[in-house]
Amino acid sequence: MIGVGLRRIGLFILTNMLVLLLLGIVLRVLGVEQYGIGTGGLLIFASLFGFGGSFISLALSKWIAKRATRARVLDVPRDEVERWLLSTVERQANKAGIGTPEVAIFPSDAPNAFATGMSRNNALVAVSEGLLRAMGRREVEAVLAHEVAHIANGDMVTLALLQGVMNTFVIFLSRLLGTLIDRAVFRSERGYGIGYWVTVIALEIVFGLLAGLVVRAFSRWREYRADRGAAELEDPQSMIRALQALQRMQELPSDMPKQLAAFGIRGEGSVARLFSTHPPLSKRIQALRALQR
């Protein structure tokens, strides 16, 4: 993907505001805010919402990915290319010791691929039509191996866990500090006045952006690990050639939905390194070449 984009930041802010609103409604319905809530109770609620939202997203990830990309699952192969894709992923999955993922093709002129799913044995690998046209079979096999390595490494579950931890602390710290600030600055007796809500919304945005840096740093690290996994499943040189092909085509626009950027092979480019889910292609190539020495 090219750049982070304002749409993602807007979606992030909206999502956090909705989580805050839902949490507030639940607390009010249960009468918690009427009598106050201790830090222990707040942490429990923050954990439920933080991890709950993350794992609900993970559980729905295949369904959302298929519809967002208009991917066609290859249940019954229509031609020799589709049979080759299915047999390649099956071979790589067997070698990696995981259940064979669903395989899909999605309409896009840009070369890309992604993997997603609830677990190592319930996953999806999808490639774009553009990738199949732009690369030779050895390079495509390397890309598929990269995605299979993501699944074998449990990256999707680990990312969901990390996101759950980040969500928990964003919700917990923003509400805790909101209560303290409302009492100290706005002199609210219970700490749930207008100052509380304004402070919580502002802190959720700030803490959420900081938490996003941690999640993206992990995402970049896991790309290097998936590259190494692809080198083991196929060979380093094929993965290097695939990344070099992506380098040559980097200027092409990508129309894969931004919410799937972290799961793609291609990454987000170098507009904002700290907010990128993927390392620069040049550094990934260097890391693979170092394995051959």
Count of other CB atoms within 10 angstroms of residue 29: 9
DSSP structural state of residue 264: B
Residue 2, phi then psi, degrees to nearest 5: -105, 105
Alpha helix positions (H), the chain: 6-29, 32-35, 39-59, 61-69, 80-96, 129-134, 137-152, 155-185, 194-233, 236-248, 281-291
Of the candidates 102, 139, 147, 223, the residue annotated as catalytic is 147
Geometric angle at alpha carbon 258, from 256 and 260, rounded to 5°: 75
On whether the CB atoms of residues 202 and 17 are closer than 8 A, the answer is no
In the chain, the largest separation of any two C-alpha atoms, in whole Å, equals 72
Q: Measured between alpha carbons, how far is residue 206 from residues 17, 46, 165, 218 in Å?
A: 12, 17, 16, 19
Is 147 a known active-site residue?
Answer: yes
Report the first-to-last Cα separation within the chain, whole angstroms. 31
The number of C-alpha atoms within 13 Å of 218 and in the hemisphere containing its C-beta is 16
Structure tokens at 155: 């990256």
Q: Provide the angle, in degrees to the nearest 10, between the axes of the packed helices 155-185 and 194-233.
A: 160
Active-site residue set: 147
